[in-house]
Amino acid sequence: MLKVKVNDIDIEVDEGLTVLQACEIAGAEIPRFCYHEKLSIAGNCRMCLVEIEKSRKPVASCAMPVTEGMNIKTNTKLVEKARKGVMEFLLANHPLDCPVCDQGGECDLQDQSMFYGIDKSRFKENKRFVPEKYMGPLIKTQMTRCIHCTRCVRFATEVAGVPEIGAIGRGEDMQITTYLEKAMESELSANVIDLCPVGALTSKPYVFEARPWELKKTETVDVMDAVGSNIRVDTYGWEVKRILPKINEDINEEWISDKTRYACDGLKYQRLDVPYVKKENNFNKISWTEALKILKNKINSTNPEKIAGLTGDLTNMETLFACKELFQKVLKSKDLESREKNIYINLNSRKNYLFNSEIKGIEKSDLILLIGTNPRYEATMLNARIRKSFLKNNTEIFSLGDLGDLTYPYKVLSNSTEEVKKIIENNSDISKKIKNAKYPLVIFGESALTLNSSKYMFEGFKKFLNENNKINEEWNSLNIIHSNASTVGSFDLDIVSKTNDTLEKIDNNFFELIFLIGRDNFSFTKKNEFIVYIGSHGDKGAEMADLILPGAAFTEQDGYFTNLEGKLQMAFKASYPPGEAKEDWVIINEISKLVHNDILFKDKNELVSAMHNYLSFSKKNELSSLFKEEYISEKIFTLPIDYYHSNVIARSSKTMNECRNIRTKLKKTGTEG
């Protein structure tokens, strides 16, 4: 520890900290533009100048390391004069267009100029003009406002791993650009908007939509993947205007993916707001009373063995639990399934289907083995952690098969189960590397768990890691990446068909009545089945339905989700369902009352209490298993992911469609609308 003095206050700080960090520990606020805690130090803006005893001139606090006995002053006349001089230079070429700038109300330059700005500039020359740069459909540029802090450049290079933004020219002629004037090919690109301390980079879909003080702000969690990124949903009336990241160092730090940020406009389009029934191949609007009457008649005339239910990828846990109770107690059916594919999963213990090393644990890993997963598209924020681990620890990363660009280097191994067999039988160099590593990660993707040999691979690796003490109280190397927000919660609630062949029976047209509860990532050849769809959007599930009951999206109801590392998270209600749509659990409750003459739950509190009760007693945390599976030789393929169309909200989003068209290089025809 080093002893220093800040504004005559004695403090102790860790060695290696900067003067700026020491000042913050002492409670002294230091203005800054170029400095950011998650990025490398640039020292460009000089706004953070402080006075240090025995120093001849003010010092940039962001780039100066603390030394023993340092006496720092942050509020002297010299410091104030220096900062005012810097601010005058920063505003010399600035267009001063605050009334029309989307950054207004959230602009660091605006805030700091209140303290250090002057009423009249001494700069009399013509202001420079920098033409707008194209950075894709998400980022709007106004580069005349740019103050050359280079935050965006450092983020793209260091965090996103896509070094497509840089600077050309020098001094006043310096320009930030993507060089070739093309869209940034990163799933994290829009984070540069949050990083920009001025209005040079703003949100293109959000342009001129609202001012920040007009919006209702709700802190909640993301459901675009299973990571559970913490977000803030900003609404104006019913409409979700934008989504921003909320800092959570354990999960998403202060970043979010572009899909998390911009798929929200999909909440406006293709919405179901009244019940529909299909007659003569056309959907007709009906009342809730009529819809429930049709459903009652169909349930009463159907054998329970011929009733099945499929839950969706965005379904909250309250709805899942209500469905479970409905099928068990009212419909008397055993065929309720949450899986999209027949993936192998061992439900005896939570640790068999979690990311056990935790997302923050990735940062200390020294070896990573990827099996049938592409984390860049399946869990973007998790992939950013892997890149961070590589940069920090020079982590060795291996993949069974070539996955393309993951934003970090990795070694490609044979994509066959033969390679897995060699590893778990100690006949491979990778076996030795895993045993010698202190914090190795073995990461399975759902693609690997769909194979005939999935049980052999998973249980074999579990046995291998157990034998080499890589699964213990301190560290668990066995991990699974799930791509859907509802997956872990559905496994916690045992929403897996008892017969384990529900999906196969559906493909063989065994059932007469099928419930799709928010299930859209699903297709089969329909014959005579009566399909009931409960959901928010007119997508794949609604298209094949005979009866549609309009539900609520994740921003329109309170609901629990469990992320891939097993953390129970609450998604809070930010808006309300459109038209006659109802919260999903309410619809399930009404179906129960209709068929059983009794509701399942008196209110939401009773439902949540019953669900928590079930979760408390349903799972053990044992990893022991008998490994007797036979080896099957086959190729391990990572299934392709349509990243921008991964769920019903994203498919309904105009912004995501535009991003997808750019990614797939689709040309516009002029008929898109």
Mean pLDDT over 176-196 rounds to: 91
Mean pLDDT over 255-275 rounds to: 95
Mean pLDDT over 23-45 rounds to: 93
Give pLDDT tens digits for 505-528.
999 999 999 999 999 988 888 899
Tokens 């749509």: give the residue: 581
Reported as a pLDDT band with limits 50, 70 and 90, residue 181 is confident
Closest CA to 310 of 596, 517, 52: 517
| Enclosing H/E stretch for 411 | strand 411-413
| Enclosing H/E stretch for 457 | helix 454-467
Lowest mean pLDDT: which of 167-181, 184-198, 210-224, 381-395? 167-181
Give residue 267's pLDDT.
Answer: 96
Give pLDDT tens digits for 610-658.
999 999 875 555 555 555 667 888 999 998 889 999 999 999 999 999 9
Give residue 231's pLDDT.
Answer: 97
Give pLDDT tens digits for 401-411.
999 999 999 99
Lowest mean pLDDT: which of 167-171, 227-231, 364-368, 544-548? 167-171
Mean pLDDT over 246-254 rounds to: 95
Give residue 673's pLDDT.
Answer: 47
- Angle at CA 347, nearest 5°, toward 341 and 352? 90
Flag whether pLDDT at 670 surpasses 80: no
Reported as a pLDDT band with limits 50, 70 and 90, residue 180 is confident
Bridge partners (DSSP) listed for residue 534: 517, 549
Phi, psi torsion values for 573, nearest 5 degrees: -70, 120
Number of residues in the chain = 673
Flag whether pLDDT at 342 surpasses 80: yes
- List, as one string, the DSSP characters of 67-93: -TT-EEESSSHHHHHHHHHHHHHHHHS
Phi, psi torsion values for 102, nearest 5 degrees: -70, -15
Flag whether pLDDT at 88 surpasses 70: yes
Q: Residue 447 is encoded by which pair of tokens?
A: 């693609």
Mean pLDDT over 348-361 rounds to: 94
Amino acid at 417: T
Mean pLDDT over 459-488 rounds to: 94
Give residue 635's pLDDT.
Answer: 94
Give residue 484's pLDDT.
Answer: 95
Mean pLDDT over 463-467 rounds to: 94
Cα 455 to chain centroid, rounded:
28
Q: Residue 523 is encoded by which pair of tokens?
A: 């297709």
- Angle at CA 68, nearest 5°, toward 67 and 74? 65
Closest CA to 256 of 370, 140, 138, 371: 138
Reported as a pLDDT band with limits 50, 70 and 90, residue 184 is confident
Sequence-ordered list of residues with C-beta below 8 angstroms from that of 13, at least 6 positions apart, any chain? 1, 2, 4, 21, 22, 25, 66
Tokens 């869990």: give the residue: 379
Mean pLDDT of the chain: 92
- What DSSP state is assigned to residue 156? I
The Cα–Cα gap between 433 and 438 comes to: 10
The Cα–Cα gap between 588 and 581 comes to: 13
Flag whether pLDDT at 481 surpasses 90: yes
